[in-house]
Amino acid sequence: MKTAIHFLAAIVMATLCSNVAVAQQNQGGIVAVVDIAKVFEAHAGHKAKMLQIEEEVKAFEADFKTQRQSLNTQIQALQALVGQPAYKEEEAKLARMDADLTIQANQKRAEIINREAQVYYETYTDVYATVARLAQSYNITLVINYDSAEIDPTNRDSIIKGVNRNVVFQRDLDLTELVIQQINAAGN
């Protein structure tokens, strides 16, 4: 009796497993590719935000350079006070100014790095949502990120980068240009 139950259970399991395998074979999904790096390069909103940050960095660097030159001029003028009672007080004041300037520069750099990271995050979520929307619209079940850049056979770094990337071959469905069009049309 136990042997019959085990045999019957084995037949039921084999039938269920074969049905699942057949169902999976019949459900072959559509696979597409997208070059996320290329999308980022062509993303008008991303470029505008990064350009704004770059301009802010240039303005900050110019201001920092001016303040640093002023401080250096004051330090040189301090040399004329060597041996006088006001020397130590003035030296301490300039040291504090130098430290404050360095702290301000470090804080600004950290702020800029965080803002850049936020811009990249926002751009990525925008691209992700667009890819998801397109995949849903065209019944695509899998989208793979790939690098469409050609390998330059005369450039060692390009060759190494190309050799180390995943091998992705997709004959027909490259969503990159469609994603770029949709993102830039939305005015992001």
pLDDT score at 164: 83
Q: What is the pLDDT of residue 12?
A: 40
pLDDT value at residue 83: 81
Domains within the chain, CATH numbers bracketed? 2-185 (3.30.910.20)
Judge contact between 31 and 140, C-beta under 8 A. yes
Q: What is the pLDDT along the chain (188 residues), one digit of tens a residue?
A: 444 444 443 444 444 444 434 444 446 789 999 999 999 999 999 999 999 999 999 999 999 999 999 999 998 988 888 888 888 889 899 999 999 999 999 999 999 999 999 999 999 999 999 999 999 999 999 999 988 888 899 999 988 988 888 777 777 788 888 899 999 987 66
pLDDT of residue 27: 62
Q: What share of the chain is helix, strand, coil (3-state, %, to 5)?
A: 75, 5, 20
C-alpha distances in angstroms, 88 versus 79, 81, 83, 114? 11, 9, 9, 39
